[in-house]
Amino acid sequence: MSAPTRVLVVGASAAGLATAEALRRKGYGGALTLLGAEPHAPYDRPPLSKQVLRGDWEPGRSRLRAPEALAALDADLLLGDPAVALSPADRAVRTASGRELGADVVVVATGVRPRTLPGQAGLAGAHVLRTLDDALALRADLLAARRVVVVGDGVLGAEAAATARALGRAVTLVGPQRAPLEARLGPVPAALLARLHAEQGVDLRPGAAVRGLAGRGGRVTGVRLASGEELPADTVVVAVGSAPATEWLAGSGLRVDDGLVCDSRCRAAEGVYAAGDVARWHHEGLGGLLRLENRTNATEQAAAVAGNVLGADRPYTPVPFLWTDQFATKVQVYGVPAPEDVLTVVEGDPAGGRFVALYHRDGTATGVLGWNMPKQARAHRREVADALSSPSPSPAPADR
Ligand SMILES: Cc1cc2nc3c(=O)[nH]c(=O)nc-3n(C[C@H](O)[C@H](O)[C@H](O)COP(=O)(O)OP(=O)(O)OC[C@H]3O[C@@H](n4cnc5c(N)ncnc54)[C@H](O)[C@@H]3O)c2cc1C
């Protein structure tokens, strides 16, 4: 394909903006359009469950770039107008407002949408947490709440529970695992997280299946468990995972299967690429398809996509990196460890609340866990990077 002169990026958030910036940084001087469904200029999501929800930051501080930096990008920023269809053959995108946009290259960066529970639609006091508007609505309810139930014991649910507790609310965290994040971190770190939450006063309900929400007069009143028990609540945070925002690609002929499926260059078809949470691409080091939902990947994959759009033809083989803040504890994970991998502490001491541990499977390093030791954890990243740089036949577990 000859050098593109018109690039359209769909999704104006972390990965979309980073793609546009990387294109300009790498010398792309052609037309550039950034199309976003939300009305807001690009903003960052990690602070939404932490600083913004706690009220430590005013909402505007989560924006990703100042207006001058956005203007310097020399891109058409079309906001509040979701794409509704893509024709890959001619890279034509139709939007909800009826715009017809054409390009040589389309980059799909539409992220994910939160899943919801039966009975949740239209119920006041029942919240998901994905957008800035979600965070502000949840914060307003949390300030008045007496009893908060967080449904979902993954990264987002545990963060939301910690923040609600930090705001002084009575908080119950309910989920199917034996301890928060067990499927992600394995049993030992998950047990430490459970202890941390319990010490901070979170009421943990592990191993519980949630059937749905209960409400009266249009407002949530509780969470129904499969056991028949009902946990009373005036505010509920539903953090039960997410689904890639790919419904607008239905009928495009592109392969959609838990994300937009791409080759090792993050290319879904000639002239169509994907970056960020929505992209499920072939990671050559892991020898399988991988989709990551983390902030670092949004930026790194965007840079890789921009390079490939401009002809670099390089596989994207990152060492996945995730961080999460739970109360004052900062956790970092490099690699894609499976919960059953063997965990060995290599620095510090879990009893002291600061340590670094390595995950191994069949003698190969699969991950690094940092617990309040970010610098030291980063120093061990190399061990995972070496293992990921050689092609492997083992399947890659999915991220978040
Ligand atoms: C509350 C919260 C806290 C988080 N905390 C952490 C953390 O501590 N550490 C970490 O590593 N990661 C964290 N994450 C994950 C991280 O924020 C995401 O991985 C990152 O935002 C992914 O960027 P993205 O651009 O791929 O997707 P998104 O940020 O989801 O952006 C996609 C954009 O595309 C838009 N869009 C969707 N459909 C269309 C359409 N049809 N047309 C046009 N636009 C569309 C969406 O409205 C959205 O603005 C957190 C996420 C959330 C929600």
**Tell me, what's the pLDDT at 146?**
95
Whether 120 shows a pLDDT value over 70: the answer reads yes
Q: Determine if ligand 1 sits within 6 Å of the CB of residue 110.
A: yes
Rounded mean pLDDT of the chain? Answer: 95
- Nearest alpha carbon, ligand 1 atom 19: 294
**Tell me, what's the pLDDT at 388?**
81
**What average pLDDT score do residues 44-49 get?**
98
Whether 315 shows a pLDDT value over 90: the answer reads yes
Q: Determine if ligand 1 sits within 6 Å of the CB of residue 203.
A: no
Q: From the CA of 102, how far away is ligand 1's center (Å)?
A: 25
Query: What's the predicted TM-score (pTM) here?
Result: 0.95
Q: Determine if ligand 1 sits within 6 Å of the CB of residue 48.
A: yes
**Tell me, what's the pLDDT at 386?**
85
Rounded CA separation 86/254 (Å) = 9
**Tell me, what's the pLDDT at 114?**
98
**Tell me, what's the pLDDT at 118?**
87
How do the domains of the chain map onto residue ranges? 6-113+243-309, 116-240, 328-387
Ligand 1: residue of 10, 110, 129 to mutate (most ligand atoms within 8 A of CB) is 110
pLDDT grade, residue 391 (50/70/90)? low
Q: Determine if ligand 1 sits within 6 Å of the CB of residue 53.
A: no
Whether 399 shows a pLDDT value over 60: the answer reads no
Nearby residues of 204 by Cβ (< 8 Å), 6 or more positions away: 172, 173, 179, 180, 194, 197, 198
**Tell me, what's the pLDDT at 167?**
96
Given the CA of residue 131, which atom of ligand 1 is nearest to it? 53
Q: Determine if ligand 1 sits within 6 Å of the CB of residue 238.
A: no
**Tell me, what's the pLDDT at 21?**
98
Give residue 20's Cα distance to chain centre: 20
**Tell me, what's the pLDDT at 387?**
80
Whether 396 shows a pLDDT value over 50: the answer reads no
User: Which of these, 22, 98, 78, lies nearest to 301 by C-alpha position?
Assistant: 22
pLDDT grade, residue 301 (50/70/90)? very high
Q: Which CATH number fits domain 116-240: 3.90.199.10, 3.90.180.10, 1.10.150.120, 3.50.50.60?
A: 3.50.50.60
Whether 109 shows a pLDDT value over 70: the answer reads yes
**Tell me, what's the pLDDT at 2?**
80
Q: Which fold has domain 6-113+243-309?
A: FAD/NAD(P)-binding domain (3.50.50)
Rounded CA separation 400/397 (Å) = 10
Q: Determine if ligand 1 sits within 6 Å of the CB of residue 57.
A: no
Whether 174 shows a pLDDT value over 60: the answer reads yes
User: Which of these, 396, 341, 395, lies nearest to 368 by C-alpha position?
Assistant: 341
Q: From the CA of 391, how far away is ligand 1's center (Å)?
A: 29
Q: Which fold has domain 328-387?
A: Enolase-like; domain 1 (3.30.390)
Whether 250 shows a pLDDT value over 60: the answer reads yes
Q: Determine if ligand 1 sits within 6 Å of the CB of residue 38.
A: yes
pLDDT grade, residue 392 (50/70/90)? low
H/E element, 203: strand 203-205
6-113+243-309 and 116-240 agree in CATH topology: yes
Given the CA of residue 47, which atom of ligand 1 is nearest to it? 3
**What average pLDDT score do residues 64-73 get?**
97
Cα torsion for 303, 107, 43, 131, to the nearest 10°?
A: -130
